[in-house]
C-alpha cells in the first residue's frame, strides 16, 4: 500500500495529536505513537481519521489489506501478540535509556546506569524475559512465531530488538547470542522490513 511516513520529536507527540482532535487513550499515556491518518474512518468525532495504538492500527490495516494476514490464526495470533507484548514490557527498564532526554529534563548520560551491579541486574532482567520468547520460538517450526510466514507478533518482537540494535549494539549482540540462534534467525529474515523505509524526503514545517 502507498503511504507517507512522518517523524516528530517525542515531546511534540501529545501537542500534535491534541491539535488534530485525537481522543486520548483511556489507559496509560494519553497520547502515543505510532498513529495513522486514514480518511476512510473520519467521522464527526474524529474528523481527521486519526488512530493511535499499535494493535488497533494493525487490526485495522489487516482488515483493509487481508493478504497476507497479520493474524493468521485469529484469536490465537492475538493471544501470541499479548504474550510477546507482556514479555517485552517486562524489559522496559532496559529500554528506558533510549527515550529522548527532554522527557526527563536531564542528559541521557545521567540516565544510563554505569555501575557493574546495576548493569548485571539489567542483563539478568533481559535474559529472564527473553527466555520466554526463546521457548516460544523453539516450540514452533519457524523462523517466525507462526511458522513460515510473519505475523504481528514477529513485528512486535523485532521492533523491540531494533531499538536495542540502534541504541546499544553490544547489548543487542549479547541478546542475539541467547538460546540457539532463534533470535538472530528471526532478525535476519525480518531485515528487509527493518531496513526498507522507502524514499526519504524533507520539507519545511511552519513553526
Domain ranges of the chain: 10-64, 75-195
CA–CA separation, 77 and 75 (whole Å): 5
Confidence of residue 99 (pLDDT cuts 50, 70, 90): very low
- CA 78 centroid distance within chain: 15
Query: What are the residues whose beta carbons fall under 8 Å from the beta carbon of 159, sequence distance 6 or more?
Result: none
What H or E segment, with its residue span, contains residue 166?
A: helix 152-167
User: Residue 186: is its pLDDT beyond 90?
Assistant: yes
Q: What is the largest CA-CA distance in the chain?
A: 55
Q: Is 10-64 in CATH node 3.40.30.10?
A: yes
Three-state DSSP state, 159: helix
CA–CA separation, 77 and 162 (whole Å): 22
pTM of the model: 0.81
- CA 26 centroid distance within chain: 20
Confidence of residue 29 (pLDDT cuts 50, 70, 90): confident
Instruction: Answer with the residue of higher pLDDT: 93 or 129.
Output: 129
Q: Per CATH, the architecture of 75-195 is what?
A: Up-down Bundle (1.20)
Amino acid at each position: 500500500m502507498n503511504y507517507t511516513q512522518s517523524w516528530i520529536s517525542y515531546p511534540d507527540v501529545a501537542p500534535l495529536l491534541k491539535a488534530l482532535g485525537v481522543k486520548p487513550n483511556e489507559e496509560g499515556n494519553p497520547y502515543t505513537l505510532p498513529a495513522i491518518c486514514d480518511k476512510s474512518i473520519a467521522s464527526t468525532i474524529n474528523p481527521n481519521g486519526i488512530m493511535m495504538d499499535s494493535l488497533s492500527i494493525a487490526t485495522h490495516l489487516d482488515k483493509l489489506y487481508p493478504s497476507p494476514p497479520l493474524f493468521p490464526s485469529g484469536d490465537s495470533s492475538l493471544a501470541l501478540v499479548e504474550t510477546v507484548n507482556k514479555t517485552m514490557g517486562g524489559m522496559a527498564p532496559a529500554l528506558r535509556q533510549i527515550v529522548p532526554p527532554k522527557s526527563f529534563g536531564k542528559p541521557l548520560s545521567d540516565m544510563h546506569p554505569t555501575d557493574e551491579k546495576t548493569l548485571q541486574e539489567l542483563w539478568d532482567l533481559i535474559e529472564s524475559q527473553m527466555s520466554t520468547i526463546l521457548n516460544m520460538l523453539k516450540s514452533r517450526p519457524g523462523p517466525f512465531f507462526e511458522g513460515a510466514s510473519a505475523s504481528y507478533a514477529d513485528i512486535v518482537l523485532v521492533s523491540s530488538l531494533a531499538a536495542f540494535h540502534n541504541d546499544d549494539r553490544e547489548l543487542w549482540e549479547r541478546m542475539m547470542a541467547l538460546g540457539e540462534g532463534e533470535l538472530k534467525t528471526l532478525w535476519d529474515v525480518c531485515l528487509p522490513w527493518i531496513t526498507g523505509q522507502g524514499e526519504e524526503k524533507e520539507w519545511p514545517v511552519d513553526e
